[in-house]
Every structure is written in structure tokens, then in C-alpha cells.
Chains A and B, each alone.
Chain A
Amino acid sequence: MALRQFGAAAAVTVALALTTPAHAATEIQWWHAMTGGNNDVVNRLAEEFNASQSDYKVVPSYKGTYADTMNAGIAAFRAGNAPHIMQVFEVGTATMMSATGAIKPVYQLMKDAGEPFDPKAYLPTITGYYSTSKGEMLSFPFNSSSMVMWINKDELKKAGITETPKTWPDVFAAAKKLKAAGHDTCGFSNAWVSWAHIEQFSAWHNVPIGTKANGLDGFDTVLKFNSPLHVKHLQNLVDLQKDKTYSYGGRDSKNEARFGSGECAIFLTSSGYYGTAKGTAKFDFTSVPMPYYPDVAGAPQNSIIGGASLWVMGGKKPEEYKGVAKFFTFLSDTNRQAKLHQESGYLPITKAAYEKSIKDGFYEKNPTLQTPLKELTNKEPTENSRGLRFGNMVQMRDLWAEEIEAALDGKKTPQEALDAAVARGNAMLRTFEKTAK
């Protein structure tokens, strides 16, 4: 019986194997880390592309979290069967670009394939993050976001806060009022602690995170974020943490739920939180630009992006690269970009798509989705706000968070904690520099 079943199964397998090659489309593997609604977006894009032509077939596969996807891709490359397209989060950028030979730069891919490609058509604050200092685009931006401040309008009104906080002193004052009005466990909080209080904070105040334009101009960058401004800010957080006016929210996004539950009425996290907020928050909410210190000259500057981009892996056939290039042209189409942006909440990557959304009157109805764009385009980016590129950034973020935690727990002074974060980070950068020649 079992043997007969096996025989039948084998026959089916053989039959399938024989029929598959009849379909001659070149397959393009796309590994990604998108879940839920975003996973549907990925699948739909692939389906639409496959339906639009018959020469290429994009096959998306979900590979776990961002870190998992990247590790899977690296492991596959070492084993000689990397995917064609790999989605890598922004902090993996330095690792990817230092891997000359393992990747195929996007600008080169487009040139080789003869696809029309104008880097100036893309929003510079987004592509700047993924380009060389000469402006050559290395990877293709896919889902981009930035950090914004989420506001529970109902709770602010209840606490008698009439004006939406704009500066850090405003936020501290509002948090104290919220606390007095019954939010005794949390005045304000944030997710992604390193991203919020070191990376975005520095760019927004136009102060360097590290030398060499935050590492964009070379791997011999040295960290600088133990400046008096950074120390002052951390000191403020430490002082406010004592009575829960500020309530630490962890290294990742797990504690975003504290905004959705109404516990924290002011919460800094990614603009990509929009979808979840829309689904879970049972109150009137909005997002506003991140706060700043008004006594810092030039603040606010502009924010930097988060999210992920698509990297093309090296060592594939020219025919396959042609398909990847066609797929990127397909993704850049103005109408498609505008639609993608308006439906998913990702930032549009081309200027034309942004302008179209303005013209469509989309932001009048959805001001929340324009907040990150306003932040990103607030001013012409400087050396300190173009982006950042540090090797081992995934682990470095954890290391910075460790030191901030030590300060918040009173184990170290803010100065000691930031000095240690800089020193340990620099040691890591030197290790990376040795391997990334």
C-alpha cells in the first residue's frame, strides 16, 4: 500500500519535472522580509510584473526578519546560490557595499541592460543613503520610512495641552502634564532607541554622528556622538526617566503597543507604524515632525531614512540582469509608485510620484503620511544629515542601546555612557575597516 502510494507520488513528481521546462521565462529570485499587508504588496508587484511581459518571472520568497533575510542571502552567496534580488535593511548597507564582487551596483546594472535610468528622478534624501559619494546608486530603494512623533490627540486634549509639542522642551512639559492627568507610567516614550536618540537626533540637529559625513565618504570614519548636545539630551532623558515622565521603550518596535493601548500619548517611532496605528488605535491620532532643541542653530535640519532597499547580487547571467533591470524600471513608474505609496504608506521614491500625490490632494486627507516626507525634505541635506554608513551597524545599534540603558538605569553618567558607546563603536569600526578593503 505504502509502496503503491510512493509510486504514484513519484510518477506525479516526474510528470511535473517534465512539464516545467516548457515554460521558458527566465526566473528572477527575490528574497524579502515583508510580512502581513506588506507581504501582499510584494506578491502583487511580482504578479503584476509577470503578467505585464512573458520573458521574465519574478519569484518572491519570504526569508524571515531583516537580519534573517540578510544572513540567508550571505550564506547562500557563500554556497554559490544567492538570489538575484535581496532586500536589505538600511543598517546593512555598509556591509553590502563593502562586498565588491558579491553585489552588482544598480547604476551599472541599468547601464549594462540599456534601461533608461536617471538618478536625478529619485528623491535625493532617499537615494543618497544608497549611493556612493559620487552619486552612483548602488541599491534600489524599496520601502522607506523615517522617524516621526505620534500623538494621541484625545489624551492631549484631556490633559489640557492645546498646542502640539514642537520642541523637546515642549515635549517634556506636555509629558509632565500628561503624567499629572493620570498617565503615571508614561509621559512620553519611543521605540528604536539608538535610531531615535542618536541617529535621527544628530541629523535633525545637524551634528555629526561620525566623521567622513557619517561614514558615507569612507570606512575610516570615527564616531562623534558624545558631544555636549548629545550628553545634555541623554541627561534630560535620565532625569525624566526617574519619575516615568519619560519611559524607556526598548531597542526595537515591540513597545509600540504602548501607544496603541493609550498608555503613552506621545511616542517616537517609524512612520511605517501608520498601518498598525490605523488598525489598533481606538482614538484620534496623528504624526508630527520629531522635536528639536530650539537653542541649537539650524535645527531642525532634515531627518534620515530607515527601511530597506533592494540589492542585486553578483555573478549572475547578463540575461537575468536584464530582467532585474526591467523590473526596476517597472517599479519606478510614476503611477505605480504613487499608488504604492498611497496604499502602503511607504515613501514614494521618485520626485514625480511625490508631486503626483500632492496634486491628487492625497495629503489633505492623509496629513500623517506627509510628515516623514516633510522631515526628509525640510532642508538641503548636509554632511551630517545625508545618511550614515557604519560597518557592523546591526550590532552597533545594540551596543549603543546597551550604553544608553546603562545611563537610564543610573549605572553610568550620560557622559560616561556616550563615551563608552563611542569607544566601543570605534573599536568595531576598526575591525570592520580591516576586512572591508
Chain B
Amino acid sequence: MEKSTVFNNRLLPYLLLLPQLVITVVFFYWPASQAVWQSFLREDAFGLVSEFVGLENYQALFAQPEYYKSMLTTAIFSTLVAALSLSIALLFATQADKSLKAAPAYKTLMIWPYAVAPAVAGVLWFFMFQPSLGMLARPLRGMGIDWNPLLNANHALLLVVMAAVWKQISYNFLFFLAGLQSIPKSVIEAGAIDGARPMRRFWTIVFPLLSPTTFFLLVVNIVYVFFDTFGIIDAVTGGGPAGATTTMVYKVYADGRLGGDLGGSAAQSVVLMVIVIALTAIQFRYVERKVQY
């Protein structure tokens, strides 16, 4: 059922599109093309010397074993964060969707963490799990676990995953809840009359009807873990120990801002951009087929 509108004025449709186009060009295409151009240059931090070096930055990048390590870290980190934050948020949303007395308060509390800045969230988690002073690290140590995110790579990764998940649950919760509330009650009631138990109703009726929301959140969450988590990583672990929590986007930040290597950093952002575009394309091509609008 295609909708089409006929414009009498030939310029009007373009004029109406203009604001959106301007925003896309100014805030996406222009910086992105700058990054691509910069990735072919070698510059000092002050921009005093600038030299065209072709693909040298990319060659140097792919010669670093640390870069492949950061790719692997990113894969593990993003899978864990996306899977955990989506499933936990879905669980919370289904609970909040029930008619509870305290539902409004519960919902408000769930949404709060989203208002916390990533760096603040990072510091919060850092102190809760600081090996010797942290209020949650002490009981862990009391249980005989040698909790030490400063040196133990798995502990550090676990810590940033927890912080990143905690930060993202609110957002996912909000969308899942809205999605759940828009599912007609009559469909679920019909299922109940047919004798389907709550679990079966959820997986055969609710979950498929929720798939547009889930798909949207999957895409958004992948983008979140790839780009938006570096504040948390910076505050919690600074990419350590021994590079165990250096994801690709954190490496872009570290090399560019701390290292002053703008060309190398730009090359990394281009690679990252290509990966995320590819991932999103795959999602739309293959996952979206399963979505029932």
C-alpha cells in the first residue's frame, strides 16, 4: 500500500527535505569525510606540519598486534553488553508491564541510570569494586575471591561490561515497556482462552509482536557499545590491565587524544565506521526478515 503525494511546486519537496539534509551533511558526511582525508595524512598535534602519506597509517595500523587484540576485545565486549542489556531490560519490562501497585515508582527508578553521565557511571563502578576500599569488592574478597581488576584481565572486562550494561538497561527498558504496552490485550487474552500458559504466551505471542522494538534496540545497542562506551572504559580501567579492556573506540581515543597521532587515529575511526556500517547492513538484510511489523 504505497502512499504518494503529488506536489504542484517542484521546489517544495526539496525545501522540506532541506533541514534534514543539512543536518546529515554537516554532522555526518562532513566530519566523516574529514576523518577519511585525515587518515591519509601525517600531522603533528599542533597541525604545523602536514604531509600526505597515502595508506601508510593503515599499513602501520594493521601491522600492530594490539589492533587485532582490540578487535577481539570489542567483539567480546559488544556481544556481552548487547546480549545482557537487552535480555535484562526485557525481563524488567515484562515485570513492570504487570499491573503492580508500585509500577510508576518502579518505572521511574529503572529509568534513572540513563541520566547518569558515562564518566560518572564509570567512577561509581570503579569505587564500588576498588579492590581494597570498594563496598562490593570487600565481600567478594571475604568470600575468598581474589578480586583484582587492576591486574586481572577478566575481572576488569567484567567490570566494564557491568558498568556499560547498567547504563544501557534503562534505555532498552523504556522501549521494551512501550512496545509491550502497545500489544493489544485481546490477542493475549485469546491465547489464554486457548489454554496457553504465560511462558508460551510470551514466546509465541508477545515476543514476535515485540520484534520491531527488539530489532531497533539491537541496532541501537550495537552502535552504543561500539561508540558510546569509551567514557565508561576511560573512567573504570583506562583500557587496562595490559590492554584487556582497550576496545576499538577506546584505542581511537587513546591514540588520537592521548598520543597525538591524529592520522593513525583517523585511520582507526574509518575502519570502525566501515565495520559498523557493515554490521548494520547485515542486520537489515538478514535479521529484519524475521521481524514482523
Q: Do A and B bind each other?
A: yes
Check A261/B133 contact, CB under 8 A, given A250-B150, A251-B240. yes
Say yes or no: is A170 at the interface (Cβ < 8 Å to chain B). Answer: no
Q: Are B259 and A395 in contact (CB under 8 A)?
A: yes
User: Cα distance A261–B126 when bound, in Å?
Assistant: 17
Q: Are A77 and B254 in contact (CB under 8 A)?
A: no
Interface residues of A in 359-410 (CB under 8 A from B): 392, 394-395, 398, 401-403, 405-406, 408-409
User: Cα distance A428–B254 when bound, in Å?
Assistant: 13
Check A258/B133 contact, CB under 8 A, given A67-B258, A78-B47, A392-B261. yes
Chain B proximity of A217: nearest CB distance (Å): 20
Chain B proximity of A437: nearest CB distance (Å): 7
Q: Are A257 and B258 in contact (CB under 8 A)?
A: no
Say yes or no: is A98 at the interface (Cβ < 8 Å to chain B). Answer: yes
Q: Are A185 and B153 in contact (CB under 8 A)?
A: no
| Across-interface contacts of B43 in A (CB, < 8 A) | 435
Q: Are B46 and A395 in contact (CB under 8 A)?
A: no
Say yes or no: is A252 at the interface (Cβ < 8 Å to chain B). Answer: yes
Cβ contact of A101, chosen from B48, B152, B153, B238, cutoff 8 A: B48
Contact with A along B73-113 (1 / 0, CB 8 A): 00000000000000000000000000000000000000000
| Across-interface contacts of A220 in B (CB, < 8 A) | none
Q: Are A99 and B258 in contact (CB under 8 A)?
A: no
Contact with B along A266-294 (1 / 0, CB 8 A): 00000000000000000000000000000
Chain A residues within CB distance 8 Å of chain B: 67, 71, 74, 77-78, 95, 98-102, 185-186, 241, 247-252, 254-255, 257-258, 261, 263, 392, 394-395, 398, 401-403, 405-406, 408-409, 411, 424, 428, 431, 434-437
| Across-interface contacts of A101 in B (CB, < 8 A) | 46, 48
Chain B proximity of A390: nearest CB distance (Å): 12
| Across-interface contacts of A99 in B (CB, < 8 A) | 44-46, 48
Least CB separation from A78: chain B residue: B47
User: Cα distance A235–B217 when bound, in Å?
Assistant: 49
Chain A proximity of B49: nearest CB distance (Å): 6
User: Cα distance A249–B131 when bound, in Å?
Assistant: 10
| Across-interface contacts of A252 in B (CB, < 8 A) | 238
User: Cα distance A261–B138 when bound, in Å?
Assistant: 14
| Across-interface contacts of A78 in B (CB, < 8 A) | 46-47
Q: Are A434 and B42 in contact (CB under 8 A)?
A: yes
| Across-interface contacts of A401 in B (CB, < 8 A) | 240
Contact with A along B235-266 (1 / 0, CB 8 A): 00011111100000000001101111100100
Cβ contact of A395, chosen from B153, B240, B258, cutoff 8 A: B258
Q: Are A394 and B48 in contact (CB under 8 A)?
A: no
User: Cα distance A248–B152 when bound, in Å?
Assistant: 11
Excluding A77-B46, A398-B240, A406-B242, 17 further A-B contacts by CB distance (< 8 Å) are A74-B46, A99-B44, A102-B48, A185-B131, A186-B132, A254-B130, A257-B133, A263-B133, A392-B259, A395-B254, A395-B260, A398-B239, A398-B254, A398-B258, A402-B242, A409-B152, A431-B264
| Across-interface contacts of A254 in B (CB, < 8 A) | 126, 130
Q: Are A263 and B132 in contact (CB under 8 A)?
A: yes
| Across-interface contacts of A436 in B (CB, < 8 A) | 44
Check A392/B260 contact, CB under 8 A, given A99-B46, A409-B241. yes
Pairs of residues from A and B, 9 with the lowest C-beta to C-beta distance, nearest first: A395-B259, A405-B241, A406-B242, A435-B44, A405-B242, A102-B46, A395-B258, A99-B46, A409-B151
User: Cα distance A424–B66 when bound, in Å?
Assistant: 10
| Across-interface contacts of B132 in A (CB, < 8 A) | 185-186, 247, 255, 258, 261, 263
Chain A proximity of B28: nearest CB distance (Å): 21
Chain B proximity of A92: nearest CB distance (Å): 9
| Across-interface contacts of A395 in B (CB, < 8 A) | 254-255, 258-260
Chain A proximity of B94: nearest CB distance (Å): 39
Q: List 11 A-B contacts (CB under 8 A).
A: A77-B47, A101-B46, A185-B141, A249-B150, A250-B150, A255-B150, A258-B133, A263-B132, A402-B239, A406-B242, A437-B49
Chain A proximity of B6: nearest CB distance (Å): 40
Q: Are A71 and B238 in contact (CB under 8 A)?
A: no
Contact with A along B129-171 (1 / 0, CB 8 A): 0111100000001000000101111000000000000000000
User: Cα distance A294–B291 when bound, in Å?
Assistant: 72
Q: Are B242 and A394 in contact (CB under 8 A)?
A: no
| Across-interface contacts of B60 in A (CB, < 8 A) | 431
Least CB separation from A395: chain B residue: B259
| Across-interface contacts of B148 in A (CB, < 8 A) | 248
User: Cα distance A238–B202 when bound, in Å?
Assistant: 53
User: Cα distance A348–B260 when bound, in Å?
Assistant: 31
Chain B proximity of A378: nearest CB distance (Å): 32
